[in-house]
Amino acid sequence: MRDDELREARRDLAVGLSLLRPGSAMFGPAHAHLGLIDAELAQRHRAGQKDSLRQQAEHRPPAAEGRPGT
């Protein structure tokens, strides 16, 4: 599932969860599922940050040796 689809599913689940009473039979499973979606999104976010940092490091110009004019 793409990131935007997962965020949309999370939003829909959060809305549905807000309509459930905490004592209902579906509240626990829906709450647990929401936690799993949050964990997946967090993992993807961390992985994306690592990829972004790696790409930045690969495109960084090499450090200049010494100072100009010295």
Angle at 48 between CA 42 and CA 54, to 5 degrees: 140
The pTM (predicted TM-score) of the whole model is 0.69
Instruction: Assign 59 a pLDDT band (cuts: 50, 70, 90).
Output: confident
Round to whole Å and give the CA distance between 9 and 14.
9
List, for residues 9-35, the tens digit of each pLDDT value: 999 999 999 999 999 999 999 999 999
Average pLDDT across the chain, whole number: 86
- The domain segmentation of the chain, as residue ranges, is 3-20+27-56
Residue 39: predicted pLDDT: 97
How far is CA 46 from its chain centroid? 6
